[in-house]
Amino acid sequence: MARRMTRQTPARLTATIGAVLLLLAGCGRTDISDTPTTSTSTPPSSGVYEPPDEVRNATVVWSAEPGIDLFSTPATLMRAANESDIIGSYAGLDHAYPGYAKALDRPYTTRYEVERYRGTIAGTVLRHIQRIQDTGDGYLIEFCALPNAYGQLEDGQYRRWYGRGVSLAAQFTRNNDAPAPATTTPTATPSPAPDRMHWQAPTYNVFTGWTISYVVSDASCDEWTLSLYPDAPVEDEITYSDTPPPVQPAYPGWPTQPD
């Protein structure tokens, strides 16, 4: 059966995306209110971007289906957008990568205003790009989000979820704010930035010339997840640990701005 991605009204879509991200950023928490809280980190200044404390002791490891280049323009946009979304969820939208808040389509900023997902994570965030569709004025990208290798610090313990993850999708549309970035694939794979055992971030605004919105995906992540965790249950299992999950080297990381 062919995969299907559907558009929804902003209000319904925001609620749906929020429900999915509640699964991934504070799965099952019942003690979270809608009262805004304040991040302990300092928002990035005009200098070199520094990840906030809430994600500093985590990494992101990306993979993709055969034929998808993680350094191509659409994959780079997807990686930057989702990593920004994770940072925005845990530390606030003003801590996301440079340009993300401006590039985000306005209806989708509302879920960051209610800071219900705040917290500190450690370990490795696993992501897998499933499909990239060229829409003529941009890209529609489907990817899997798996929480099995990281945990959220709660009351001195790390709460961890073990399951099969969920499929999400994002749309990137070229806008008129700036010339559209080149879409050619690099002829050589850039070298990742140093310190691959901690959160990495781009050194430039990846989102110049793009608008980001989200769509709902009903694809399955089982095949990819089970290749990594053959015993992953259908329903998430929750455990607690006094020690943080191990950190894997970030991949592919963020090299300096391409020429």
Average pLDDT of the chain is 80
Q: What is the pLDDT of residues 76-96, one digit of tens each?
A: 999 999 999 999 999 999 999
The reported pLDDT for the residue numbered 106 is 86
* Secondary structure (DSSP) of 162-184: ES--EEEEEEEEE-SSSPPPP-P
Kindly report the backbone phi and psi dihedral angles of residue 166, in degrees, each rounded to the nearest multiple of 5, phi listed first: -140, 155
Is 9's pLDDT higher than 80?
no
Nearest by Cα to 169 from 10, 19, 4: 4
Q: What was the pLDDT predicted at 47?
A: 64
What Cα–Cα distance (Å) separates residue 153 from each residue in 89, 139, 224? 14, 35, 27
Q: Per-residue pLDDT for 32 more than 80?
A: no
Q: How far apart are CA 77 and CA 93, in angstroms?
A: 17
> What is the pTM (predicted TM-score) of this model?
0.81
- Token pair for residue 223? 């095949």
Q: How confident is the model at residue 258 (pLDDT cuts 50, 70, 90)?
A: low
Rounded percentage of the chain residues whose pLDDT exceeds 70: 72
Span 171-195, pLDDT tens digits: 999 997 555 454 444 434 444 555 6
| CB proximity list for 211: less than 8 A, separation 6 or greater | 103, 104, 105, 172, 173, 174, 175
- Give the ranges where 25-105 is alpha helix by DSSP (H): 53-56, 73-91, 100-103
Average pLDDT estimate for 34-38: 40
